[in-house]
Amino acid sequence: MKVGIAYSTLDDSRQAGRMAAEEAVKSSGEPALTLLFTTDAYDQEAVYEAVKEVIGASKMAGFCAGGLITAEGVFRQGVGVCTLSGDELRVATSLQTGLSTGPRDAGRRAGEELLASGLDQGTVFVLPDGFAANISEVVRGLYNSMGPDFKYVGGGAGDNLRFFKTYQCTEAGLTSDALAVALLDGVTVQAGIGHGWQPTGDPLVTTAAKGKRVFEIDGRPAFDVYSERLGGIPVDKFAEYGMRYPLGIPDISGNYLIRDPLAVNDDGSIDFVTEVPRNAVVSIMEGGVADLIETARSVAQAAAGEVAEPQFALLFDCISRCLLMDEEFEKELKAIREAVGMEVPILGSLTFGEVGSYADVPLFHNKTTVIAVGGNKKL
C-alpha cells in the first residue's frame, strides 16, 4: 500500500482541490480510494470536480466539515485529500440521500450496497450529514445491515457553526442530507475512541424526551434541573455552560456516551445535538482541558499500538472540543501526533458528532475523539 496525504488552503476552490489531490497522488500513485475533507468556505461542486479530474477512476468518499486537521494544525479553510493505492486494496462505496426523513433506512441501504460488493470484512468510513434529524438511527441502520464483522469510524459533516448546509460525496456524486460511506479492505486499520469527561453528582433520569429534545429530567423542566445542578445558571449563559457540562449516558462497561446540549426552549426543554432517549439514566459531565488532551493521547496510543508500521492516521475530532480548548487544542493534536508517530501523515476534520465503538457496536458520539491508524498489523 502507498499513501498520499496533502492539503491546500488556497482561496480558489478548483485550485485548492486540484493542488491537494495532485500532491496526494504524487505520493500514492493512482489511488484505489480517495478521502476528501473540505470546509464550507469553498464552492463544493468546484472542489469535487477538480479532485475527480485528478484521481480518475478511484473510489471516493468525503464531506464538508467545520475545520481541516493537518500535521501543521487546524484550518477553518482548507481542502484535504488522502489517497490510498495498492493491488491488495479492495474498496466499495455508497451514497444514500434522505437522512432527515428516513435515517435508519438510509443506513440500511448503504450497508446493503456495501455488502453487495462481495467484501465481507474491513473498515467502514461513515460520513453522514451532521445536520440531519437523527444520526444515531443512521448508524443503527448501517450496523443492523452489516453486522459485527466490520470496524466503523467516521464523523458528521458540518460547517463553521452556521448550521446552514453541508455536503457529502462519493465518486457517484455530491449532495446534502446524505450518508457517504466507504468500505476498505486489504489494510489493517485500528481505531481508538475516547473523550475525557467524567460524571459529577448523582445520576438523573430523562423522564420526558423525544428525538433531540429533553422536556423533563426527574419529572421537572429539564433546564431547571440542569441549572440547579450547576449552582443556578441564567438562560443567557446556557451556551457557555452547555459546552463545559454535557450529559453522559453510561453503558454496562462504565463508558459514557456524551450528548452535547445546544439550546434552551421557552418551555424549559433542552435541545441536544443528537438524540437522548426517554427514561435514560444520565449524568452531568465535567472535564478539564488536561483530561481531554490526555484522553486523546491514550486513544491514539491504543490505535497505533496495534499497528506494526503505521502509514497513515485519520482523525475525527468534535468541533466543540476545539471551541472549548481554544488555543490549547493544538496541544491535543500534538499529543495525538506524538502517540502515533510524528512521521506518520495525518488528516482529519472537526466533526459534528463522531462514529466509533468502545466494543463491537458503533454509536454516534458527541465531544469525542475518534482516530483510525492504518498500516501493517503487529504479529
Mean pLDDT by 10 residues, the chain (379 residues): 97 98 97 97 96 98 96 95 96 96 96 97 96 88 96 90 80 96 96 95 96 96 96 92 95 90 95 93 95 96 91 96 92 96 97 91 95 79
Sheet strands (E) in 77-197: 79-85, 90-97, 122-128, 150-155, 168-170, 173-175, 178-185, 188-194
Instruction: Give the CA distances from residue 170 to residues 18, 51, 109, 176, in Å, rounded to whole numbers and listed in that order.
Output: 17, 11, 15, 12
In this predicted structure, what is the pLDDT of residue 160? Answer: 65
In this predicted structure, what is the pLDDT of residue 252? Answer: 83
pTM of the model: 0.95
CA nearest 314: which of 271, 276, 344, 359? Answer: 344
Instruction: Give the CA distances from residue 125 to residues 26, 60, 152, 369, in Å, rounded to whole numbers and listed in that order.
Output: 23, 11, 6, 15
In this predicted structure, what is the pLDDT of residue 131? Answer: 83
Contact between residue 25 and residue 83 where contact means Cβ atoms under 8 Å apart: yes
Q: What DSSP letter does each residue of 341-371 carry, written as one string?
A: -TTS-EEEEEESSEEE-SSSS-EEESS-EEE
Amino acid at 58: S
In this predicted structure, what is the pLDDT of residue 161? Answer: 58
In this predicted structure, what is the pLDDT of residue 308? Answer: 86
In this predicted structure, what is the pLDDT of residue 158? Answer: 85
In this predicted structure, what is the pLDDT of residue 273? Answer: 87
In this predicted structure, what is the pLDDT of residue 268? Answer: 96
In this predicted structure, what is the pLDDT of residue 89? Answer: 96
In this predicted structure, what is the pLDDT of residue 171? Answer: 98
Q: How far apart are the C-alpha atoms of 40 and 33, rounded to whole Å?
A: 23
Instruction: Give the CA distances from residue 188 to residues 121, 357, 377, in Å, rounded to whole numbers and listed in that order.
Output: 11, 17, 6
Q: Where are the domains of the chain?
A: 2-194+291-377, 198-280
CA angle, residues 122, 128, 129, in degrees to nearest 5 = 170
